[in-house]
Amino acid sequence: MTTAPRPATERVRPDVGLRERKKLRAMRHIQEVALDLFDEHGYAAVTIERVAAEAEVSPSSIYRYFGTKEQLVLYDEYDPMILDMIDKEPAEVDPMEAIRRSISYIAKEILPGDEELIRRRMRYAWNEPAVRSGLVRQVEEAEAMIREGLARRTGKDGGDLELKVVSAALVGGFVAVLEYWHQTDYRDSLDAVLERAFDVLSGGLKLE
């Protein structure tokens, strides 16, 4: 979500030095500690200060890394992945189909490995209002990017009503899928649920 800190002077590859690796390691560690504490005492009862103490960093650093308390739960790297994949689909592919494929691919190939962690984080996304609205915000940003992708593919303007409606409906549907998946205790594979949802959406929201 929050744009990465932009270095004043562009170095050659600011992404791979010791600094960057240290930062990523620290973030993973902090998130882990935070989730442990949240699991034990509840999200609301754990202060940032507490997390900072437990993770042995300063509260300032947590804010610099994550921006907000919700992001301690929500932070992950999937969104850019999906967008990247959509852009890599060949231009001839139908736009909706490109999205469908990309999301399915992630759901099938990447997520299963992290499923434990994902479930753990999802619980908060549906039980803590603050986390929930952070999730929605994140999804909205993804929506904007999907819309831009669709705009490029179709030649339409990004502010076009049709595009807005389509991408909003898509991400709305996606959130519904996550909610269903969560509430049915991850019974079916995410991919299977996604397929059913896509069918409903492209079938014109007909019920039955």
Partner DNA sequence: CTGTCACTTGAGAGTCACTGTCAAAGGAGG
Partner DNA sequence: CCTCCTTTGACAGTGACTCTCAAGTGACAG
Q: Which residues have a Cβ under 8 Å from the Cβ of 75 and sit 6 or more positions away?
A: 27, 31, 66
Which residue number, 115 or 141, has a Cβ lying nearer to a second copy? 141
Q: Which residue has the tokens 């991400």?
A: 171
Q: Which of 33, 57, 125, 193 binds DNA (CB under 7 A)?
A: 57
Tokens at 94, concatenated: 């139908």
Residue 27 Cβ vs DNA, minimum distance, rounded to whole Å: 9
What single letter denotes the amino acid at residue 135?
L
CA distances from 204 to 155, 166, 177, 194 (A): 23, 11, 17, 16
Which residue number, 6 or 206, has a Cβ lying nearer to DNA? 6
Which residue number, 52 or 142, has a Cβ lying nearer to a second copy? 142
| DSSP single-letter state for residue 206 | -
The entry of a second copy, DNA, none near residue 128 (CB within 5 to 8 angstroms by kind) is: none
Site membership for a second copy, residue 136 (CB under 8 A): yes
Site membership for DNA, residue 189 (CB under 7 A): no
Residue 14 CB coordination number (10 Å): 14
Tokens at 105, concatenated: 């691919």
Q: Which residue has the tokens 């594979």?
A: 189
**Which x/- pattern, by CB under 8 A, does the window 77-96 give for a second copy?**
------------------xx
- In DSSP notation, 128-145 reads -HHHHHHHHHHHHHHHHH
User: CA 208 to CA 204: how far, in whole Å?
Assistant: 11
Radius of gyration of the CA atoms of the chain, in A: 19
The entry of DNA, a second copy, none near residue 196 (CB within 5 to 8 angstroms by kind) is: a second copy
Site membership for a second copy, residue 163 (CB under 8 A): yes
Residues 14-53 that bind DNA (CB under 7 A): 14, 17-20, 22-23, 26, 46-49
Number of residues lying near a second copy (CB under 8 A): 43
Q: Taking the mean position of all CA atoms in its chain, how far away is CA 30? A: 18
Interface contacts to DNA, rule CB under 7 A: 5, 7-12, 14, 17-20, 22-23, 26, 46-49, 57-61, 63-65, 67-70
Interface contacts to a second copy, rule CB under 8 A: 95-96, 129, 133, 136-137, 140, 150, 154, 156, 159, 161-173, 175-177, 179-180, 183-184, 193, 196-197, 200-208
